[in-house]
Structure 1
């Protein structure tokens, strides 16, 4: 998790059901577009 800069942040993660994500995709709040990885 340190590679992603998320170490120590478990308490900040909020759970959401698949229904919440499905609704957000349907409403256009989320996009299935992935960003290109940055290489060093």
Structure 2
């Protein structure tokens, strides 16, 4: 029972970490696009 809970918790941690990682990447891409847009303007 505890083993299943540990696997479930590790899965949640991996999922949360992946979401945070993707959010950070998308934010970085948005700032890059905004900066390039400002330069063009």
Using the size of structure 2 for normalisation, the TM-score is 0.29
Question: Which of 1 and 2 has higher RCO (CA within 8 Å, sep 6+)?
Answer: 1
Using the size of structure 1 for normalisation, the TM-score is 0.30
Q: Could you say which structure has the higher helix fraction?
A: 2
